[in-house]
Each structure stands twice: as C-alpha cells, then as structure tokens.
A and B are shown apart, each in its own frame.
Chain A
Amino acid sequence: MSTSNNGGGDSQFGDLLVEMRGLRIEGQADEQWHEIVHGIDLKLHRGEVLGLIGESGAGKSTIGLAAMGFARPGCRITGGEIIFDGIDLTTTDEDTKRKLRGARISYVAQSAAAAFNPAHKLIDQYSEAPVQHGILSNAEAERDAKDLYARLQLPDPDTIGYRYPHQVSGGQLQRAMTAMAMACKPDLIVFDEPTTALDVTTQIEVLAAIRDVVRQFNTAAIYITHDLAVVAQMADRIMVLRHGNLVEEGNTREMVANPQEQYTSELLAVRSFQKDHPVEVPGQRPLLEVEGVTASYGGGVKVLEDVGIEIRRGHTVAVVGESGSGKSTLARVITGLLPPMQGVIKFDGVEVPGALPQRSRDQLRRLQMIYQMPDTAMNPKQRIRDIIGRPLEFYLGKTGAEKEERIRELLNLIEMDPDTYIDRIPGELSGGQKQRICIARALAAEPDLIICDEVTSALDQLVAEEILKLLQRLQNELHVSYMFITHDLATVRAIADDVVVMLQGRVVEAGEKNVVMSPPHHEYTELLLSSVPEMDPDWLDRLLAARGAAS
C-alpha cells in the first residue's frame, strides 16, 4: 500500500480479499429490530487500506465487525454476503469463523486500555492467539512479539512485554494492541478508531507505527474513524457512510481534492469556523484571576505548580495541553472542588474561598460548568424541565409560571423547540441535543463565566461545530466568558481569544491567540500545533520527514 500513489485500482493491489454484497444488518432497540446497515457493497484487495468514515450511528463499526463475520450482541446480519477469501462468512459455521479470527482476521479496538485484560502481561496476551491457533510455539511467539514491538517503536522492546497493561502509557498500549493483532500475520486487520482516545502528540506516533507495520507485512486493513484528516493519512481508498448508507466512495486523493457529495464537502470543511473579534467591555478588571495556584490530590505529587491565568469579561480563554497536563485539575481548583494548597482565586476582584462549601450561593451561581460527556452530566431520570428548572429555582427563586416561561426561553435560545423537548428525559435526545441542554442548564444560572471541559470532544465533528457556533452566538448576545479546556487545537483556533498552554502542571505559554499560535513558538506549543492532522494526505509523511531531519 502507498499513499503517494494515485492508482487505487485492482492492478496495484493483490487479489480480492473481502467482498461484501448487499450487506444488511439489523439492530435491536425497544425490543424491535431496525435495519441499521442498508445494503452495503464493499471490496477490499490484499494489501489495501480502506477507510470507513462517518458520524456515530453511520454503521461504520458494525460494517467493520461484519468483515469478521461478527455481529455485536443486539445486532444480526440479515442479508447479503460477506466473502472472505472465498468463504462466505454469513453462512459458514462458528467453528470455521473461530479458526479465521485472530489467525487471518484480527481486530484493534478503540480503547486499548479497556480491551486488554489487566490481569495478564502484554506478551502473554500477545502469545495467546498464535499459540491457541497452533501457528507458533510460545517461545516463537515471544520472539516475534519482541520483533514487532521494536518495529512499532515501543521503548525497550525486549522487556516491555513483561509489563502489565496499567504499567504502560495509552499510546504504547495502543501499539501493543496493534502488535497483538499482527501476531498471526493476518490477511486483514480491522482498526476501530484506534487513535480517537489519544492525545494529538501520541496519535502521530501510533498512526506512523500502524502505517509502517501494515505496509511491511502487506496486510489489508479496514480503518474506521470519524476524523477525515486521520483517514486521509492512512487509507488508499475511503468510503463515506451515513445512516447505514454509502454516501461516496473513492480514492483518497481524489476524494480529498474533489469531493462529489455535499456531505463529504461538509466533513472536509469542518474546523473552518472562526470567531469574530471579542466584544470589548472597556475599563474593567479581569473577571477571573488565578494567582500562584499549587494543588495536589491528597498532598502527594503536585499536579499544578504556581499556575496563574486571567480571564477577561466576554472573552474566551482556551487552556490546552495533553492528558495529565493539569488542565482539568485547574478547572477543579477554580470551581472549588479541589481547594488549592497555595495561591489565590479572585472573582471580579474579590478573593473567593478555596473550598466549595465555603462559597456563597451567589459565587457559585456566577461560575457554571459544562462537561465533556453530556450523557453523564445529566441525571438520566430527570426531565428536561427539571434539569433546566432546578438552577432557576435554586439560584433565582423562580417558581411556577415564571420558571416555566424562563425554561421555554432558554430552550428557544439553544434552538430546541420547547413543546417537543420540555418533557423528555436525556435518553430521548441525541448527543448534540444533550450538550445543548447542558449549555441551557449553565445559562439558567445567569453566570459570568462558564468552564467548558472538552465539551465537543465526545461529539461528531459536524455536531461539535454546531455547538461551538452556538456557544459563540451566546457569548455575543450575553457577554459571558468561557474557559475552554481542550486538547483539540482546531477548537482553539475556532473559538479562543486567549490561549494558555499547559505542560506537566505548569503554564508554558500564555497570551492572545494570534500571538501564541504564530511563530516563534515555545517548543512544546510547536509540537502540539504541528501534531494536528490536516486533510492533506501527504501531511504525515512531511511531518515525519521534518521531525526526522530535525532530530
């Protein structure tokens, strides 16, 4: 396989490895069966990498698993054929399928941390499949594992296998998982969002490692993701899916350069949103000042060290950094969930108590929070009326008709029809709608500052963009300030006025967006910025070449 090649036809790759014809899959909801994949045709040749892309619910994971002849619990394959190297997986018996899986087809899951058994060493889990299938002896498997670990550029390839899953980092675990999938030198690997849970800087390493090793062994792969920029680096050919239908299929370069369908263009144009200049509210002191804050959990390692930030009224400050940089801890300190060991938090020029119970109700009201996962941020047993109504009642003493009216106003503000949604429970909403309700709940308190903790990272890209636009519109109308915690620099580019870059509990760079985002960069900011995938299929090659030259 090669991404620097325009061919993509049968000539370039080997024989046909997988062919799906008219694949139909049903899923069960509400004790009824609904069709979720509506007759997909798919062809994959030996050595070819096919990208499946689409928003959640598009059926991409379901199709990926179907390539292994597998349907998740609650799903069933109802029509069509799945022919893997001459064997029809829809009609063959379980025994045959079991012999194929692991040996000739393997799978890499999204969350390696959840997919590894925490009780066994990495190398033992690696050896399991080849030994079980009788392909390799235990000693041979271990030797192979070390070789693959080296090829995947894991540190200490000779010894890393003897660690337990919790003893290695997320990116290393994902590579160890890829090594495991390669153990039997399969003909096909299904990658299901292997880098979605990783930081941008780690993502690069994993992407590069996966691509190299797949190339070296000439393995065919199905690469599933919702990120078109990522798939553009990995795949020879892309299938865009939506609601279980094929939207567009084509060679990666041609599709990125010249999409045929509007939906594909929308996916390509994502992240193009840019905020206008902030509304200046003149002559006022900063809304929030954090000075010299040091914090730790249980007095142990300092998670934050001497952190200071400033948020102006009506502005958006983005706090960026990879996992473990302390950005979420900073939010916990500001909200009062984690009282700081040292340092001061001033709100509107007045120092507020560090601990939550000591803060007044008005201080609490002025600072609201929106969470990363809208699913867990709302009580699943409460109706929208109660979720939005509670802050109105609690902070502002609104009851009865007055409260009802305000709830409806808020629902209109977030562009949701009050009559339709007011009596629903969160389970009856989509992910984007849930996040809108969370925004409405925060707005109900009439706050001055809203902390947005990775609010878009659990959402599909198009939905995330809508949420960002909504937040921006609300800021223009209500002059509320945002503190945006994110690891996604595209979000920062879109919405921030000021940027704070954090690394290992310290602020490494802070200032206006244009200053921070343009050269000269701090070394770490440079690394973060250059790691954001671009739509250009040559981006990864260029980046790796540049980094290789630099080091």
Chain B
Amino acid sequence: MQRVFKSLAEAPLTAKFGVTVVLVYTAVALLAPVLAPYGETEIVGDSYEVWGGTYVLGTDNLGRDMLTRLIYGARNTIGIAFLTTTLCFLLGSVTGFLAATVGGWVDQVLSRVVDVLMSIPSLIFALVLLTIFGLSIINMVLVIAVLDATRVYRLSRAVAQGIVVMDYVEAARLRGEGLWWIMRREVLPNAMPPLVAEFGLRFVFVFLFISALSFLGLGIQPPTADWGSMVRDNATLITYGDITPLLPAAAIALLTVGVNFVVDWFLHKTSGLRDEH
C-alpha cells in the first residue's frame, strides 16, 4: 500500500487529477443515498425549475431534483458499466488466452466467431439483440459484454501469442502443466499491463455505449436515474440556451478524461519498468 502512495506522490499532475476524479466518482457512487438531498425518483417541484434556490441545479422534465438525479446516475451508470466491463474482460481474456495457448482449430473457431460478431456494427447489433431478448438491465449487460469481449479477445490473443512462444511456457508444457495453469500462472501475469490499460479504455467505451443506448431509450429504463437518459429527457432545454442537459454529458466526459489519464500513467509506468531488463 505504501508503495502505491509513494508512486502516486511521484506521479505527474495529470495522473493525480485522473486518480482524484476516479476516487471522487467512486465515493459519490457509493455514498449516493447519503449525499443526495432528495430521493432518486422523488418529484419535488415543478418541471424545469432554474438553478439556485432550493434546487441547486434546478429540476428536470418531471420536476425531480437534478443534483439528486446526477448523484444517483453516477451510481447506476458507473456500477453497470463496471459490471459489464468486468464480464467482458473475463469472457474476452479467457477465450483469447485459450485461442493463443491451444492454437489449431480452437483458435480458428473462436477467431472466426469473433470475426462474425465484429463484422456487424455494434450499436445496431446491440439494438437488434435487445429487441429480441427484451429490455432489461441483465440483458443489456450481457449483450454489451459479449459484443465488447470481441475486442478484448483480439487484444488478449495477440498479447498471449507473444507470450506462449517464450521458453518459459515451453518449460511449463514440458513439466506437464495443464492448460489452465499455463494460462493463469504463465500467460496472465505477463499479459497484465496491456490488459489493465485496455480495461480502463474499455470501461470508458462501455460507459459511452450504455449512455448511447439510454439516450435512444433502450438502455437503463426510467425511472432509474442514468446520465444518458437524463441528457435525452432534458434535451429541449438546450434550445432555450440552458446548459442543464449538458451536465450529465459533462459528468461522462470528465470521467472519460480522468480514466484515460490514469491509464496513460499506468502504461507509462509499466513500460518504464520494462526498460530495466
């Protein structure tokens, strides 16, 4: 732990900023019920009330407090995005490592399936799948996880292919180690840096994807607060020169920037470590 703090203290300003942003968002997401002045779906006043006064950021189209919705939105959107990204990585990296380690027809079958999935534009594909399976948070999480896992598959397969040709993997095979052990103990630790970096970026993409779906009305369903649908619900205000609908968009943008700063820092650190050898 001390080492983490020490390296953070030496980190560039951008990384510190990114870490702060991520920590603040996490805290807000976790403490939403405590921080929010009102209930998530509570109608507290007239619709579209202005900033200041009782409602710091005004109210939305149904008269719910904007600040409260923003805070709960952090919790819902970030939580779901995190869950989706984790699933996506589990699926993508296990299949990717498998394809690289076993090779042969396993690799062929997996790779061709992934090619097919990737050849269809993902937003349209997601819309189709959600229409077929029905709109629910579970379905959305699964659909996005599977679609995004194709990218993770490609990355982890490529990274693992560079690792499985190393002598230490051959040594493990000669020792008689099983497939799972080789993937977990020999391949995974050495594939970590690019995968972690990808995790950060993928998280952002998943986040944007969910917001996009919500904006189209196919993502997180009302009355659950979520940044994507908040932009849509209050979009009309833009015409009157009111920037309220941009707040959730700004929240998304800020998190995106923060996460990317952290990822950049991590990449820099891990590639710096590699120079020593």
Contacts and interface: CB of A to CB of B under 8 A. Distances in A.
Contacts of B177: 394
A361 B176 contact: yes
Interface in B243-277: 272, 275-277
Interface string B138-178: 00000000000000000000000000001110110111110
A356 B175 CA distance: 10
Interface stretch (A47-55, A313-321, A377-385): A377-385
B174 A335 contact: yes
A356 to B, nearest CB: 7
B167 A376 contact: yes
Interface string B66-108: 0000000000000000000000000000000000000000000
Interface size class of B (residues with CB under 8 A): 10 to 19
Interface in A345-369: 356, 359, 361, 364, 368-369
A378 B168 contact: yes
Given A29-B276, A31-B272, A379 B168 contact: yes
A394 B178 CA distance: 11
B233 interface: no
Contacts, number: 53
Contacts of B167: 371, 373, 376-377
B275 to A, nearest CB: 7
Give the size range of A's interface with the partner.
Answer: 20 to 34
A364 B174 CA distance: 7
A361 B177 CA distance: 10
A523 interface: no
Residue among A30, A379, A382, A390 with the highest chain B CB neighbour number at 10 A: A379
B198 interface: no
Nearest to B169: A379
Contact of A394 (B175, B189, B277): B175
Nearest to B272: A31
A30 B175 contact: no
Interface in B168-212: 168, 170-171, 173-177, 185-186, 189-190
B176 A364 contact: yes
Contacts of A390: 175
Contacts of A381: 189-190
A385 B57 CA distance: 58
Contact of B171 (A356, A369, A395): A369
B126 to A, nearest CB: 36
B183 to A, nearest CB: 13
Nearest to B166: A376
A379 B175 contact: no
Interface of B: 166-168, 170-171, 173-177, 185-186, 189-190, 272, 275-277
Interface of A: 29-31, 74, 335-337, 356, 359, 361, 364, 368-369, 371, 373, 375-382, 390-391, 394-395, 427, 441, 445
7 contacts: A31-B272, A335-B174, A336-B174, A337-B173, A356-B174, A376-B167, A379-B168
